């Protein structure tokens, strides 16, 4: 399999965004598209690598951009400044996610009926918000995502299957918030799963995470387990 990548520009409300498409261009068949929603620093090498790994699973990987072309954080303070406006305006966040879904459906390789999204940290919150809106994407998977609820989707049914891959000791999403999310998903009649990994904190899939004081540490075992769970989940969702 020869996975190739290309940049793609798209617009939302006159702001230009730049994503990365990863696909096996030797295949002429249309395939499911899986969006990759980045962490708080913006679209980076980590998100692009996940898009390539999804392409190796037979999908089209789409590392989306939620901040705007070229907008990246270089440290925690810059990351917070980039993320804050979308945490404060969840309608805008949700609109940018839906825009990326529309871009995915328009890709020449796309099976327009089979779209999913995965996300990491802040990106995990983004894919959960996509599901909360009642989007018709087939599935969303949140890796060590934030669970902060939104106040603009009450009463909506969640159509997407939902998988939450969570470090039980994550200081940014404690067990109480995990059970609150479970109650929220149940109320929205979602087909949901939560996998909680013991002795695991935030950012457990990122080999560069080495800050115990901040609560971000890579966990190789939980990383491998969560990816396998996601792969099975997507395969089941796209049947």
User: 38 with 66: CB under 8 angstroms?
Assistant: yes
If you count DSSP H runs as helices and E runs as strands, how many of each does the chain have, helices first? 6, 10
What pLDDT, on a 0 to 100 scale, did the predictor assign at position 26? 82
| Digit-coded pLDDT (tens) for 141-188 | 999 999 999 999 999 999 999 999 999 999 999 999 999 999 999 999
**Average pLDDT of the chain, as a whole number:** 97
What pLDDT, on a 0 to 100 scale, did the predictor assign at position 90? 98
Instruction: Please say if the pLDDT value at position 33 is more than 80.
Output: yes
User: 43 with 70: CB under 8 angstroms?
Assistant: no
Distance CA 13, CA 16 (A): 8
Phi and psi of 230, rounded to 5°? -65, -45
| Digit-coded pLDDT (tens) for 194-209 | 999 999 999 999 999 9
What pLDDT, on a 0 to 100 scale, did the predictor assign at position 27? 78
Burial (Cβ within 10 Å: 0-12, 13-18, ≥19) of residue 151 = exposed
Distance CA 237, CA 188 (A): 18
Distance CA 214, CA 143 (A): 17
User: Where are the chain's structural domains?
Assistant: 3-237
Nearest to 97 by CA among 71, 133, 70, 150: 133
Banded pLDDT at 25 (limits 50, 70, 90): confident
What pLDDT, on a 0 to 100 scale, did the predictor assign at position 231? 98
Going edge to edge, which strands form the sheet with 31-37?
A: 3-12, 15-24, 60-63, 31-37, 110-120, 139-143, 161-167, 192-197
| Residue 53 Cα distances to 38, 57, 118, 190, angstroms | 15, 7, 12, 27
Instruction: Please say if the pLDDT value at position 1 is more than 80.
Output: no
Instruction: Please say if the pLDDT value at position 70 is more than 80.
Output: yes
What pLDDT, on a 0 to 100 scale, did the predictor assign at position 215? 96
What pLDDT, on a 0 to 100 scale, did the predictor assign at position 207? 97
What pLDDT, on a 0 to 100 scale, did the predictor assign at position 38? 98
User: 192 with 162: CB under 8 angstroms?
Assistant: yes
Banded pLDDT at 211 (limits 50, 70, 90): very high
Assign a CATH topology to domain 3-237.
Answer: Rossmann fold (3.40.50)
**What global pTM score does this model have?**
0.97
Q: What is the mean pLDDT of residues 64-81?
A: 97
User: 142 with 226: CB under 8 angstroms?
Assistant: no
| Digit-coded pLDDT (tens) for 86-136 | 999 999 999 999 999 999 999 999 999 999 999 999 999 999 999 999 999
């Amino acid at each position: 399999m020869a996975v190739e990548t290309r940049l793609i520009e798209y617009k939302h409300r006159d702001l230009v965004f730049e994503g990365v498409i990863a696909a096996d261009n030797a295949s002429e068949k249309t395939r499911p598209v899986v969006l990759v929603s980045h962490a708080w620093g913006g679209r980076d090498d980590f998100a692009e690598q996940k898009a390539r790994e999804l392409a190796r699973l037979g999908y089209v990987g789409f590392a989306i951009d939620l901040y705007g072309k070229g907008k990246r954080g270089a440290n925690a303070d810059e990351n917070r400044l980039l993320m804050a406006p979308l945490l404060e305006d969840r309608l805008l966040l949700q609109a940018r996610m839906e825009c990326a879904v529309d871009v995915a459906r328009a890709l020449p390789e796309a099976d327009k009926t089979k779209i999913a999204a995965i996300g990491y940290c802040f990106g995990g919150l983004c894919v959960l918000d996509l599901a909360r809106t009642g989007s018709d994407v087939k599935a969303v998977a949140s890796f060590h995502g934030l669970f902060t609820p939104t106040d603009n989707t009450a009463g909506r049914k969640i159509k997407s299957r939902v998988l939450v891959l969570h470090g039980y000791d994550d200081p940014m999403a404690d067990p109480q918030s995990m059970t609150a999310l479970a109650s929220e998903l149940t109320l929205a009649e979602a087909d949901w799963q939560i996998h909680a990994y013991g002795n695991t904190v935030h950012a457990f899939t990122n080999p560069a995470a080495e800050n115990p004081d901040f609560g971000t540490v890579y966990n190789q075992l939980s990383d491998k387990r969560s990816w396998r769970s996601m792969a099975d989940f997507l395969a089941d969702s796209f049947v």
